[in-house]
Structure 1
Amino acid sequence: MKPLKDAQLGAFTFFASALPHDVCGSNGLPLTPNSIKILGRFQILKTISHPRLCQYVDISRGKHERLIVVSEHYASSLSGFKQGHIISPEKLLQIAYGVLEGLEFMNKNGLVHRALSAHNVLMDYKGNVKLAKFGLYHMTDHGADVDFPIGYPSYLSPEVIAQGSFHPSDPSHDEAPLPSGPKTDVWSLGVLLFELCAGRRLWQKFDISEKLKFILTLGCMDDIVTVLAEEHGCLETIKDLPNNVLELLRKCLTFLPSKRPTPAELLGDPLFNGISFQRTPFQQPVSLFSSSLRCAHLELPDDISDLCKDDDEDYLSERGIDEVYHLWCLAGGDLEKELTNKGIIQSKPPICTLPNFVLEDGESFGQGRDRSFLLDDTTVTLSLCQLRNRLKDVAGEAYYPLLEDEQSSLPQSNSSNELSATVTLPLIIRERDTEYQLIRIILFDRLLKSYPYKKNLVWKEARVDIPPLVRGLTWAALLGIEGDIQAKYESIDKDTPIPTDRQIEVDIPRCHQYDELLSSPQGHIKFRRVLKAWVVSHPDLVYWQALAYACMSAFIPKYLYNFFLKDNSHVIQEYLTVFSQVIAFHDPELSNHLNEIGFIPDLYAIPWFLTMFTHVFPLHKIFHLWDTLLLGNSSFPFCIGVAILQQLRDRLLANGFNECILLFSDLPEIDIERCVRESINLFRWTPKSATYRQHAQPTKVPGDNGFGKTATYFSSDYQGMPKTDLSREPLALCDLKAEVSPRISAEDLIDLCELSLAGPSKRNKAGKPKIVAVDIRSVEDFGRGHISGSINIPFNTVFSPDGELVQCPATGALQNYRGRVIVVISHVMKSATMFAAHLVKVSFQRVCVLDGGINKLKPTGLLTVPSPQI
């Protein structure tokens, strides 16, 4: 996004056509409002950036199909030239060249202006051309979605006028006319240049119908320029123009489109030779994810001191237009209020908006056409005074943070010292704090521009929070996206019909359609192409439910590996079984209750994990949840699931099966910030091998879990670690389902025991070790060698030979160890799992079983043999 510089933010408003309420589409669903369609088409306009075009920033949708568009704006335009003031030929050619540059770039992107006029050609403080409202024709589907024509009669080309006005609801038109092409703008440019040469507006003495008739009769004239000059009394002025200017006017005002040049052809015409304004090739900014060097065109000034900023430097103007607008909104900016204050938006009593109404005496009053639904293209300048006043105390250094400074007063952050208090506030407050967001946006902007070199710092800062404005790029960075992803995406065939097309078409209209962008036709098209590209590029997988994300090919292998095999039942069943064990590990009381009433995860959790909770929460909550999810490994979703259950814990414990089914059919409000906070805590307490799955992604992952812990036990992802003799062994699904508590590997137990002896930093809040190893072998076997620090509770003192409970261990030695991770160790796995299941039944938290038992540890030489007593 280009910097603000000397530009302003401008806003204009218009209404989309209203649709009838009692009409449905071919799919039986209500028709998509035209304002939603326009909003969807607008999105591509935000990505189009050129020095000769005013940057589009945002569009918002109000009541009664009102739309408000925000874009780059300048106070000066060609309409500011006074009547009778004649512009110099050289300046005229410079203006023409600038307009043609903008038009050519638009044409390359499939756009036509169609609304070119004197007041839509703006000028910056250097006199450079900036075309405004160039996207109006595109976003309204060539005018089909609004009740007003796109363009101005004085500037419309003859072929456009000959087509007449069109609206889809008009029964007199069988089909829509063909969209205008690039040559229509060349005619409009010709009229505009003629007015500048003549020093007057054309057709001021004509009414609308005479204007249109006169323009259509120009086809009979040999020299349109001369005819126009005679008709408007400026023949002498036009005759005195240089030949190259006259030639330009004649080429632009060529009646037949087939003989009229395109903007690209005019730019290469020799008539522009010799003017002082020469074309400078426009370098499209290199995308963050590209194979090209982002710094290839970086140039430093001859004098490095030129880079130094004065104390009174306007730092805000150096930021991107989108950033400034985002901050303007945070600082209290209100688009409707601004337009209302300027008289652009005027409220009416409801009765005055009726088509007609009848008084008591039977007299009927009808209302003429409401002109407020026509286009008022007045652009209101948005004042930045309130924003600048809000940011006046932000030091200049904050706009240029030093990334190498690892010393920060903020927890895990390099942000400004002044914001140390803000970072402790709830996330929703931080996201609405103007100063805080300014600092965070600037920091992330610099880190992302340094990606992947600064990838570790991106992770570090993302642990604090992610600014909503840069969330998309940050997520992609957290997923490790690199290379020329655009070329790879374009190489995939997204058009050839495939069997899953029908399923995709059915699912997309069910996916978060309350969101204006996702519900728009353009949103559906983009969504469909992303999904289809993923399906086509993964022929071994099938499409099941809606999965939409710009980084699907990185996200799905990490969190949903093999979830979309043609037969995925074994993958899903293993996942749900591990989830059940994680519930029992963290909340045995809740686990016992849910198992007793038969409310198993198969009944409620499949949509959670299959869509990574997008089926559960609205988008604004998903954003906050995924900000943290992407920092965790493939085991983190288990902890999110447990955190959700724990928020509903009281209601679940108080209800039976039917009530729980009803509860999850309409899930109550979930505090997402609490859910994130608690899921991180659960994740830190979950041994890495406790969530081992055979069907997880086998690739190696970094040791840091994204939450600031690099220890090998409670932090790393176990999936894909190099297999050793001390690793967990895979279990058959039927055996896995038979066990209540998760197993952990011998290497995890060894690591954890080492951590428990390392000092207070590895202990719980009470200063006690986080683990207790419970060896349930006989006293004799325990004496032959055991883990240092473990306690011995022989299995035969708790259970009889036929498996009956003899005495509860919870009333004895284990009572003092509640809250720690309890690892049950035996040489018979059936005994260990049975002992662990009993501990869960009596509500012991964090119970797990050593996979492979004591035999796994014997070859290590780590077993302790007690010294004989004298």
Structure 2
Amino acid sequence: MRPLKDAQLGAFTFFASALPHDVCGSNGLPLTPNSIKILGRFQILKTITHPRLCQYVDISRGKHERLIVVAEHYARNLGDFRQEQRASPEKVLQVAYEVLEGLEFMNKHGLVHRALSVHNVLLDCKGHVKLAKFGLYHMTNHGADVDFPIGYPSYLAPEVIALGSFHPSDPSHDEAPLPSGPKTDVWSLGILLFELCAGRRLLQNIEISEKLKFILTLGCMDDIVTVLAEEHGCLETIKELPENVLELLRKCLTFLPSKRPTPADLLGDLVFNDISCHYPPFQKPVKLFSSSLRCAHLELPDDINDLCKDDDEDYLSERGIDEVYHLWCLAGGDLEKELTNKEIIQSKSPICTLPNFVLEDGESFGQCRDRSFLLDDTTVTLSLCQLRNRLKDVAGEAYYPLLEDEQSSLPQSNSSNELSATVTLPLIIRERDTEYQLIRIILFDRLLKAYPYKKNLVWKEARVDIPPLVRGLAWAALLGIEGDIQAKYDSIDKDTPIPTDRQIEVDIPRCHQYDELLSSPEGHIKFRRVLKAWVVSHLDLVYWQGLDSLCAPFLYLNFNNEALAYACMSAFIPKYLYNFFLKDNSHVIQEYLTVFSQMIAFHDPELSNHLNEIGFIPDLYAIPWFLTMFTHVFPLHKIFHLWDTLLLGNSSFPFCIGVAILQQLRDRLLANGFNECILLFSDLPEIDIERCVRESINLFCWTPKSATYRQHAQPPKVSADSGFGRTATYFSSDYQDMPRTDLSREPLVLCDLKAEVSPRISAEDLIDLCELSLTGPSKRNKGGKPKIVAVDIRNVEDFSRGHVSGSINVPFSSVFNSDGELVQCPASGALQNYRGRVIVIISHAVKSAAMFAAHLVKVNFSRVCILDGGISKLKPTGLLTVPSPQI
């Protein structure tokens, strides 16, 4: 969005038409409220950016179908100019040209103003035109979703007046009239220009019905301009106008639409030859993900000192309008309160809002229509004083951070200590801290503008947190989105019917419909297009229920950029859900659930033992978790915080999230049986997402890379470093992306994988872990002890011929007899002192190692795993230690 500069933030409100409560749609669901329809259509208006149009910022929905719109605003308008004096011909031509520029740009985007008036043509500090409320006609479905007409009678074109008023609930109308075209605004412009030239309002003291009759009778006149001048006593003034201005007025005030020019036609008219050269063509800003150069238009000033800012510079005004409004809300801004203070919103006692009452004799008494529900188009200016006061201690350097690796993300200022302390606070508090969010938004904005050159810094800062305002673009950067995504999306056929259409139509009305944006008809249309684009462009995959839930977070964050939502979804699925959407995905799902079971046993053996005893296996509850990456079970606001961290991890991180969720429910699960657990998961209790994320990271860092190896995961590829800090570097890289060697873990058939309670780790994992334990205290736990212990269960003779340095020997024969029966619990001996470490079981035969590990899990030893391939994998490395003979 454009910078705030000298603009203000303004808000206006109106009511959408109320729908009957007892009527359902053709699908059997309640009708979508008109306010939600308007909210969905409004979103595209936020992308319409032009120097002649006021920027739309936000819309909020209140009680009783009330809507409040926030947009760029200016105090001056054409009405003020007219009261001062009659406009000069030069000023009239300037206003006409600038209004036409805005109208033509709107027309290119399929929009018509339809509400032009002197109050909606604003003037900035330099006197240039800014059209306001140009989106009201579009967002209300050409006026069908509100109870008031769009436009002002004095300025409406004759063809609009001839149609009369229309409302869908009116039985006298069989069908809605055709929407107004661009030429209706040209007539309104003509009336505006005439008023500027005459210095007075037209039809000001005439009743509305008389106004309408008069405008319709103009069709019988040859020269409408002269008739209007005679009617309002300003004929001499109009006659004094230059011929080119008179000709412009006549062209605008052409009665028949077929003969009236469009805004584009008028812009090319000879009357503007001397003006058009002073207005360079508008260049649309280049988006982040496109094939165009984003910095091609940048130029250094002739004097480099022009870049230096004065001490009293208003840095906040250099930020985008959307940023300023976001910070205004964080600083305590309340739209309804602002409108209430200006008496635009009037609160009444409930007893005063009763429609009527009936006496015993049947006589009823009612009240007149509540005028507070009528349209008041007053725009209230939102004061930024509270926001500026909140940010007064932020140093100017904070608005222009240096993007260097060694540069702190929290610049020095009077409140730098406060900011440093804020980082340690819970995420929900940080997201509501005005000063902290300003710093983070500015930093991410600069990093994203330098993407992909500063991709590593985006990853680094995302590990701290991601500001909600830039989350959509930040996720795209973390997923590695690049190139001309719009061209690729446009090339996909999203219109031809396919067999999946029916299932998509059924799923969309059930997907996160508590959210006003996604439940709007516009949201459903976008949902359908993005999902269909994914299905059509992935011919080897199919649509499974749950794909809609995966799409929801990306669509919500990129509602006005379907191409980016599709690109993010297409990058996310192969990373975390590779081959989950095959037509026959049973082998992929079963392998995933088996690895998840091993992760539960690895991190929480007591819980694993209980769930296995009652038969509550992951197949009964975890498939929706992983198939939708938890979007089916959590609301969007929790998914945002969860995925902020998920996108920093590799494909094994979802296992840790699943275990963390179970651990939050641990006490209830351990205390209940099968039936109670089923009921518990049918309506999942409240989950503390911040705690879940924190514990997931800890579990992730304790999990060896190869422990979560899956042969059906995404094939190896080169990926960016992803981790949660230097101490977690080893655990953060994806094992699937590592080159295969003789020491790598071998794939297992599903039946063998299911037979083992504990996960396997590769020989290279064991070697790296042993080396890490010797590199210093940063690789050790808080007690200073190594995080790993190797338990060699071969007999004493084999152990003495060569073993892993530092390993302990607990012969299998001392624990199990030849029939595989337990004779002595190893936990009662030497292993008792190693609880809490990663325990790697080493043997000749993996089967005996699996038995040994299973028993350790049975007696609640955590972090137990098996060396894949046994000791034979380590013999060729020369790393085995042979003890020195004793003298």
Q: Same fold (TM over 0.5)?
A: yes
1:788: which partner in 2?
A: 805
| Greater mean alpha carbon deviation, residues 755-764 or residues 780-789 | 755-764
| Greater mean alpha carbon deviation, residues 201-210 or residues 549-558 | 549-558
2:842: which partner in 1?
A: 825
Q: Please list, as runs of the form range in 1=range in 2, the aligned pairs for 1:143-222 lying within 5 A after superposition.
A: 143-222=143-222
Deviations 1:810-834 (A, max 9, x none): 0001000000000001110110111
Deviations 1:444-475 (A, max 9, x none): 11101110011100110010001111111101
1:363: which partner in 2?
A: 363
- Check the 8 A contact 2:393/2:413 in 1, yes or no: no
Deviations 1:258-299 (A, max 9, x none): 111111111011111123872211111110111111100012
2:285: which partner in 1?
A: 285
2:599 aligned with 1:582: yes
The secondary structure found in structure 2 opposite 1:712 is helix
- Check the 8 A contact 2:840/2:865 in 1, yes or no: yes
Shift of 1:358: 2.8
| Greater mean alpha carbon deviation, residues 359-368 or residues 168-177 | 359-368
C-alpha separation in 2, matches of 1:325 and 1:199: 37
- Check the 8 A contact 1:787/1:862 in 2, yes or no: yes
Shift of 1:15: 0.2
- Check the 8 A contact 2:727/2:779 in 1, yes or no: no
- Check the 8 A contact 1:416/1:439 in 2, yes or no: no
Shift of 1:369: 2.7
Distance 1:239 1:548, change over 3 A: closer
| Greater mean alpha carbon deviation, residues 122-131 or residues 204-213 | 204-213
| Greater mean alpha carbon deviation, residues 356-365 or residues 836-845 | 356-365
Shift of 1:867: 1.1
- Check the 8 A contact 2:147/2:167 in 1, yes or no: yes
| Greater mean alpha carbon deviation, residues 342-351 or residues 545-554 | 545-554
**Please, what TM-score do these two structures have when normalized by structure 1?**
0.98
| Greater mean alpha carbon deviation, residues 531-540 or residues 197-206 | 197-206
C-alpha separation in 1, matches of 2:221 and 2:293: 54
Shift of 1:371: 2.7
The secondary structure found in structure 2 opposite 1:12 is strand
Shift of 1:703: 6.8
Shift of 1:131: 0.3
C-alpha separation in 1, matches of 2:814 and 2:322: 70
Shift of 1:413: 15
C-alpha separation in 2, matches of 1:821 and 1:275: 77
Shift of 1:700: 2.1
C-alpha separation in 1, matches of 2:609 and 2:411: 38
The secondary structure found in structure 2 opposite 1:421 is helix
- Check the 8 A contact 2:38/2:139 in 1, yes or no: yes
Shift of 1:163: 0.8
Distance 1:547 1:460, change over 3 A: closer
Deviations 1:374-402 (A, max 9, x none): 21110000000000011111111111111
C-alpha separation in 1, matches of 2:148 and 2:246: 34
2:291 aligned with 1:274: no
C-alpha separation in 1, matches of 2:627 and 2:10: 43
Shift of 1:191: 0.6
Percentage of pairs with the same residue: 91
CA RMSD of aligned residues (A): 1.9
5+ residue gaps, structure 1: none
| Greater mean alpha carbon deviation, residues 121-130 or residues 341-350 | 341-350
C-alpha separation in 2, matches of 1:593 and 1:194: 84
Shift of 1:52: 0.4
- Check the 8 A contact 1:408/1:417 in 2, yes or no: no
Shift of 1:132: 0.2
Distance 1:54 1:364, change over 3 A: same
C-alpha separation in 2, matches of 1:299 and 1:244: 38
| Greater mean alpha carbon deviation, residues 209-218 or residues 537-546 | 537-546
Distance 1:592 1:84, change over 3 A: closer
Deviations 1:784-813 (A, max 9, x none): 111111111111110011110010000001
Shift of 1:357: 1.9
Shift of 1:764: 1.1
Distance 1:416 1:290, change over 3 A: farther
Distance 1:415 1:788, change over 3 A: farther
| Greater mean alpha carbon deviation, residues 219-228 or residues 110-119 | 219-228
Distance 1:710 1:255, change over 3 A: farther
Q: How many pairs are equivalent?
A: 870
- Check the 8 A contact 1:415/1:443 in 2, yes or no: no
Distance 1:414 1:175, change over 3 A: farther
C-alpha separation in 2, matches of 1:459 and 1:742: 30
- Check the 8 A contact 1:409/1:417 in 2, yes or no: no
The secondary structure found in structure 2 opposite 1:188 is helix
Shift of 1:232: 1.2
Shift of 1:410: 6.6
| Greater mean alpha carbon deviation, residues 399-408 or residues 153-162 | 399-408
Shift of 1:364: 2.2
| Greater mean alpha carbon deviation, residues 767-776 or residues 694-703 | 694-703
2:710: which partner in 1?
A: 693
Distance 1:158 1:182, change over 3 A: same
1:649: which partner in 2?
A: 666
Shift of 1:210: 1.1
5+ residue gaps, structure 2: 546-562
- Check the 8 A contact 2:409/2:443 in 1, yes or no: no
- Check the 8 A contact 1:687/1:744 in 2, yes or no: yes
- Check the 8 A contact 2:727/2:778 in 1, yes or no: no
C-alpha separation in 2, matches of 1:509 and 1:547: 22
- Check the 8 A contact 1:412/1:460 in 2, yes or no: no
Distance 1:412 1:476, change over 3 A: farther
Deviations 1:229-263 (A, max 9, x none): 11111111111111110111111111111111111
- Check the 8 A contact 1:407/1:414 in 2, yes or no: no
Shift of 1:304: 0.9
The secondary structure found in structure 2 opposite 1:584 is helix
Deviations 1:701-746 (A, max 9, x none): 4473321237664232101321111111110011101110000001
C-alpha separation in 2, matches of 1:410 and 1:200: 56
Shift of 1:362: 5.7
C-alpha separation in 2, matches of 1:407 and 1:458: 13
Shift of 1:350: 2.2
C-alpha separation in 1, matches of 2:882 and 2:649: 40
Shift of 1:20: 0.3
C-alpha separation in 2, matches of 1:413 and 1:768: 41
- Check the 8 A contact 2:650/2:732 in 1, yes or no: no
**Please, what TM-score do these two structures have when normalized by structure 2?**
0.96
Shift of 1:327: 0.4
- Check the 8 A contact 1:415/1:440 in 2, yes or no: no
Deviations 1:541-585 (A, max 9, x none): 111129986611101011111000000010011000000001100
Shift of 1:688: 0.5
The secondary structure found in structure 2 opposite 1:493 is coil
Shift of 1:111: 0.6
| Greater mean alpha carbon deviation, residues 292-301 or residues 354-363 | 354-363
Distance 1:777 1:414, change over 3 A: farther
Distance 1:850 1:419, change over 3 A: same
The secondary structure found in structure 2 opposite 1:83 is helix
Deviations 1:767-791 (A, max 9, x none): 0110000111111111111111111
- Check the 8 A contact 1:17/1:147 in 2, yes or no: yes
Distance 1:196 1:556, change over 3 A: same
Q: Please list, as runs of the form range in 1=range in 2, the aligned pairs for 1:716-731 lying within 5 A after superposition.
A: 716-731=733-748
| Greater mean alpha carbon deviation, residues 697-706 or residues 483-492 | 697-706
Deviations 1:188-211 (A, max 9, x none): 101110111111111113211111
Distance 1:566 1:640, change over 3 A: same
Distance 1:633 1:596, change over 3 A: same
2:413 aligned with 1:396: no
Shift of 1:363: 4.7
C-alpha separation in 2, matches of 1:199 and 1:713: 76
Distance 1:95 1:71, change over 3 A: same
Distance 1:257 1:113, change over 3 A: same
